């Protein structure tokens, strides 16, 4: 069984269209075990109920942005080791530097191609 068949991914984005595009890209890579959340708070609840190997999160979300979600994940005993991929349209140094300080595993800039997503994921979890 390939690792991509076992990989559990949580996609977090406040825009349903973006969640759909990311999910579609993951499915095109053969990843099928995908959950979604529309904000950071519901993402944390989802992870409590069903742990994931990787969180793919938008940066710009109301309430709790992607880096605030990452900070919460890194502070939790059960979630500290989850891989984290930030997807952002604001790939400015301040955002990326803060993400790295919070132990973000990788990031990609919007808009992205499925090949970009695959490379970013493989840099975190290994070959799919």
- 60-88: average pLDDT: 96
Name residues whose C-beta falls within 8 Å of residue 28's C-beta, 6 or more positions apart in sequence. 114
117 pLDDT more than 70? yes
Q: What is the pLDDT of residue 1?
A: 66
* Nearest residue to 110 (alpha-carbon basis) of 100, 101, 97, 120: 120
| CA separation for the pair 26, 78 (Å, rounded) | 24
Q: Domain coordinates of the chain in residue numbers? A: 3-125
Which has the minimum average pLDDT: 36-40, 54-58, 89-93, 96-100?
89-93
The CATH class given to the 3-125 domain equals alpha beta
For residue 56, what pLDDT is reported?
98
Mean pLDDT value across residues 4-16: 94
Would you call the peptide bond into 111 cis, given omega within 30 degrees of 0 as the criterion?
yes
pLDDT at residue 66, as a whole number = 97
* pLDDT one-digit tens code per residue, 85-108: 999 987 789 999 999 999 999 999
pLDDT digits (tens, 9 = 90+) for 19-35: 999 999 999 999 999 99
């Amino acid at each position: 069984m390939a690792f991509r068949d076992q990989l559990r991914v949580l996609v977090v984005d406040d825009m349903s269209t973006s969640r759909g595009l990311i999910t579609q890209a993951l499915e095109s890579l053969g990843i099928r075990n995908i959950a979604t959340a529309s904000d950071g708070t519901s993402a944390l609840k989802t992870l409590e109920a069903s742990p994931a190997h990787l969180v793919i999160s938008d940066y710009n979300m109301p309430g709790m942005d992607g880096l605030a979600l990452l900070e919460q994940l890194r502070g939790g005993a059960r979630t500290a080791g989850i891989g984290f991929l930030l997807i952002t349209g604001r790939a400015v140094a301040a955002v990326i530097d803060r993400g790295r300080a919070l132990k973000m595993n990788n990031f990609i800039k919007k808009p992205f191609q499925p090949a970009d997503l695959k490379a970013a994921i493989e840099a975190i979890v290994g070959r799919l």
